[in-house]
Structure 1
Amino acid sequence: MASQTFHHTRCNSFPLPSRPNPFISQIDEHLNRFRASDATSTSSSSISHKLNGFKDLYDCVDKLLQLPSSQQALAQEQHKECVNELLDGTLRLLELCSTAKDVVLQTKEISNELQSVLRRRKSGEIELVSEVRKYITSRKVVKKTIHKALGNLKAIQRKHVFSPSEDHETKAIVSILREVEEVTSSMFEHLLSLISRPEPGSLSLVSKLWHHKKVACEDAGREVNEFEKVDAALKFFAGQKNSKSENIMSVEMKNLLKDLELFIQDLEDGLECLFRCMIKARVSLLNILTP
């Protein structure tokens, strides 16, 4: 699964210039904050804050790439292969972001269907357990998609291309952009793993969920996120066959699904905004190769 900390892998071959570009310094500050942050937090407010932070990071990246000095440095023929490598990296990150957006949307759609069933349900009118099983099946598809994306991510073996140039500013730009790629990749790995975590299935956990207490997995020492709460509760109640259990679920699940809806909305908004910023930065980088 995802690593729990953002990696710091600055290449010593790419030192910062004696008078650092201000945008390089700002980007480095953003990266340091991400590395120092608690990557294990699963709350919607924390994730929303992280996504907003990455938006600000990519705003700085775009400003760096818009500088005439940056464009002139990267446009040199000897740096073309490096820039192409960076472009490939931005494409991989956009694919990860698209996967995250897609799986969040899929979960949102089936969650909305289940909420709709609960709102209009009358005794004996709808087989609620059947709808729950439909949700569980959909989540399995989502998790397979995520596992495939994470597998592809781990299979990528980066082979950095080093320019023979002695231009320290160019080296600093390439170095910081590679760091941005690595930290962003780690963030998406963590986020996708969070969405696909196996649901804890104990009866005691489900019981605690009904009382809206903060629940931590004893073996991992972490807070259970909204995806896990709903997955655990629905898996448990999918096996219940009496009307009393269904009635309890129809009342309590509304609260859990509402929390999940809010969590998903935070993810959707943050991912969409970040996606646009990443595209903008990629276009700026692409324009350097094709002026």
Structure 2
Amino acid sequence: MASYHARSLSFPSTAHPIADKFDEQLCRLRSSQAASTSSSSLNQTLTNLRDLYCCVDELLQLPLNQQVLFHNLHSKWVEEVLDGSLRLLDMCTSSRDVLVQSKECLQDIQSVLRRRCSGELNINNEIVQYLKARKTSKKIIKKCLKDMKEFDNTNEANGIESMLKDAQAMTVNVFTSVLSYIGGVNLESRKRKWTLLNKLMHQDGNKEAETTNSEFEAVDATLESIICQKNKRGMNVVQVENMSQMQNLESEIQVLDETLESLFRHFVKTRATLLNILSN
């Protein structure tokens, strides 16, 4: 993470108010990102990141910054910023894709639950499809996390170059947290996952599962335990019917996806502004 430092936009005496606003928002974002341990806190961090890009858009409207960018059209740092903006768009798109895929599979499971008749229940195929989708999603997430490590987080620049690089570095940090949360425990500790799975398999059907840091993790473990139990002694209907986790997760996905969509639009706007400045 880039270190905090005072900066100026080469104005005669004091820093420009928009530069101060950017630094304040960056500090606020660092604080919220460090405390992001749940879906709600991650969503707030993403909202703060969106606000940071509002400041970036304001900075790019300043004539002096536009001159700096245009005069450095062929410089390495401008190329890095442009390349970074494209990669951030891809990263945001991948995040939304895995969320939508998980949501669709969850809806399939709940649809079967609503359509069941005469007490019969068979959601084995839907659960298997969900777990397969999650496996694919985790592969995508791991690739994204690997790609993010290739971002150059060093920043010894000043002015608009420093701010653009700081914004991209912070974006990488935020999306690392978001993707790790979506990916669940498999990206961090398989031991913890199997501990949770064993507890789920041995608890009574009317007993709620332990709270976990990630609703994705909780649903993954619950559905895997259902598959294991079905293979041993048949489907535990009561356990499935009491799975409020799925509804909670679907709500989480909806909120995160809406915030990511808004952030994606800001990424597009920032990149378009940069390209317009450099082409004029």
Deviation of 1:83 after TM superposition, in Å, equals 2.0
The question of 1:232 aligning with 2:221 is answered: yes
Taking structure 2 as the reference length, the TM-score comes to: 0.85
Task: Look up the SS of the partner of 2:23 in the other structure.
Answer: helix
Q: Separation in 1 of the partners of 2:160 and 2:277?
A: 13
Give the match for residue 168 of structure 2.
181
Report runs of 4+ in structure 1 exceeding 6 Å deviation.
Answer: 159-163
Task: Look up the SS of the partner of 1:37 in the other structure.
Answer: helix
Deviation of 1:23 after TM superposition, in Å, equals 1.7
CA distance 1:74–1:104, change in 2 (3 Å): same
Deviation of 1:21 after TM superposition, in Å, equals 1.9
The question of 1:29 aligning with 2:24 is answered: yes
Q: Separation in 2 of the partners of 1:210 and 1:74?
A: 62
Deviation of 1:44 after TM superposition, in Å, equals 2.7
CA distance 1:9–1:205, change in 2 (3 Å): farther
- Correspondence 1:1-291 to 2 at 5 A: 7-9=1-3, 15-16=7-8, 17=10, 18-37=13-32, 39=34, 41-77=36-72, 80-123=75-118, 125-154=120-149, 156=150, 158=152, 171-198=158-185, 200-201=193-194, 202=196, 203-204=198-199, 207=203, 215-216=211-212, 224-241=213-230, 242-243=233-234, 245-253=235-243, 255-291=244-280
Q: Separation in 2 of the partners of 1:237 and 1:67?
A: 58
Aligned positions, number: 266
Q: Separation in 2 of the partners of 1:148 and 1:271?
A: 19
Which blocks of at least 5 consecutive residues in structure 1 are unaligned?
1-6, 164-170, 217-223
CA distance 1:134–1:196, change in 2 (3 Å): same
How much is the aligned-residue C-alpha RMSD, in angstroms? 2.7
Matched-pair contact (CA < 8 Å) for 2:53–2:266: yes
Task: Look up the SS of the partner of 1:282 in the other structure.
Answer: helix
Deviation of 1:286 after TM superposition, in Å, equals 1.1
Matched-pair contact (CA < 8 Å) for 1:90–1:181: yes
Residue 239 of structure 2 aligns to which amino acid in structure 1?
M
Residue 258 of structure 2 aligns to which amino acid in structure 1?
D
Residue 102 of structure 2 aligns to which amino acid in structure 1?
T
Matched-pair contact (CA < 8 Å) for 2:205–2:236: no
Which blocks of at least 5 consecutive residues in structure 2 are unaligned?
187-192
Task: Look up the SS of the partner of 1:188 in the other structure.
Answer: helix
Deviation string 1:17-40 (CA, Å, 9 cap, x unpaired) is 551122221111111112222535
Residue 276 of structure 2 aligns to which amino acid in structure 1?
N
Percentage identity across paired residues of the two chains = 38
Q: Separation in 1 of the partners of 2:228 and 2:22?
A: 50
Matched-pair contact (CA < 8 Å) for 1:65–1:284: yes
Deviation of 1:105 after TM superposition, in Å, equals 0.8
